[in-house]
Amino acid sequence: NLSPRLAAVASFVPKGARLADIGSDHAYLPAHLLLKSHIDFAVVGEVAKGPLENARQELKRQRLLAATALRLADGLAAVTDDDQVDTVTIAGMGGILIRDILAAAKQRGQSFTTLILQPNTDEQVVREWLVQHVYQITHERIVQEDKHFYEIIVAKPGNQTLSAQDLVFGPFLRDEQSPAFKAKWQKEADRISLIFERLTAAGKTDTPAYQQWQARFQDIQEVLS
Ligand code: SAM
């Protein structure tokens, strides 16, 4: 069974999608969707040989090799036009790497109907890239696993304007104010409070860094109130 994080990613894959899972590692996500007959084809992309071998073993064990194309490639270079991929999942990587993968794909002239992205960090970088490149965010979800919070961002081609706060907090997530959302940002506010204490003790309150933390802290208070 999938972890709550990957289950949330999987829940956004349309039935019958032609999927590319980039950075698939053990290929748990495509394997799960294939086993449920939710999809019948997936490109499994990996930049590293070890993880691609993990994927091959898992898919072989589940007798799913015939329904997949395993590709050793950087990002969406794993996908060819002939694959007719319409849905892309990229999960469990930093937001900057996800942005770079999307940007390289755009440069190659690739475009996809549905992007399902789960950045581990720098979510605002991903949202920024999406709105700047004519994708609109259609769904978001936040999932807590142990002490970690994971955001899932679903996007489709289209126009959207987002405020600076939307980019940081997520337009849907901040509207929804789920318990996980509140817990994530309360944790961040607590972390910033400790930074304030340190900077105050060091006599560094009159600095650009302090002001930046203060602005972020105020944004969090505003969004949580
Ligand atoms: N997607 C799975 C998940 O969410 O559980 C696995 C995440 S794993 C932490 C990240 C994987 O991304 C690694 O296996 C790594 O080799 C792969 N990766 C990193 N950069 C990549 C790139 N540019 N193209 C394809 N795969 C990449």
Q: Please report the DSSP string for 26-77 in residue order.
A: TTHHHHHHHHTTS-SEEEEEESSHHHHHHHHHHHHHTT-GGGEEEEE-SGGG
Q: Which of 72, 75, 41 is nearest to 56 (CA)?
A: 72
Q: Which protein residue has the closest C-alpha to ligand 1 atom 24?
A: 75
- For the Cβ of 31 lying below 6 angstroms from any atom of ligand 1, the answer is no
Q: What distance in angstroms lies between residue 47's CA and the mean position of ligand 1's atoms? A: 7
User: Measured from the CB, is residue 48 less than 6 Å from ligand 1?
Assistant: yes
Which pLDDT value is given to residue 163? 97
Q: Which residues of the chain have pLDDT under 50?
A: none
**pLDDT for residue 211:** 95
CB 36, CB 180: distance < 8 Å: no
- pLDDT, position 116: 99
Is 27 close to ligand 1, i.e. is its CB under 6 Å away? no
State the ipTM, two decimals.
0.99
Question: How many angstroms separate the alpha carbon of residue 77 from the centre of ligand 1?
Answer: 14
Ligand 1 in reach of 170 Cβ (< 6 A): no
Whether this prediction's pTM lies above 0.90 is answered by yes
Write the residue with the smallest CA distance to atom 8 of ligand 1: 92
Residue pLDDT, tens place only, 75-118: 999 999 999 999 999 999 999 999 999 999 999 999 999 999 99
83 vs 221: CA distance, rounded Å: 46
| Range 178-185 contact pairs with CB under 8 angstroms and sequence separation of 24 or more | 178/142, 180/142, 180/143, 180/144, 180/149, 181/142, 182/224, 183/144, 183/149, 184/142, 184/144, 184/149, 185/220, 185/223, 185/224
Whose alpha carbon is nearest atom 9 of ligand 1? 92
Tell the residue nearest (CA) to atom 14 of ligand 1.
Answer: 25
Nearest CA to ligand 1 atom 19: 23
Question: What integer pLDDT is reported at residue 64 of this predicted model?
Answer: 98
* C-beta of 45 in contact with ligand 1 (< 6 A): yes
95 lines ligand 1 (CB under 6 A): no
For ligand 1, atom 18, which residue shows the shortest CA distance? 23
Strands 114-119 and 87-93: parallel
Q: What is the pLDDT of residues 171-191, one digit of tens each?
A: 999 999 999 999 999 999 999
Q: Is 30 in the pocket of ligand 1 (CB under 6 A)?
A: no
Q: Which residue has the tokens 């549905």?
A: 114
Mean pLDDT of the chain: 97
- The conformation of residue 78, written as its DSSP 8-state character, comes to G
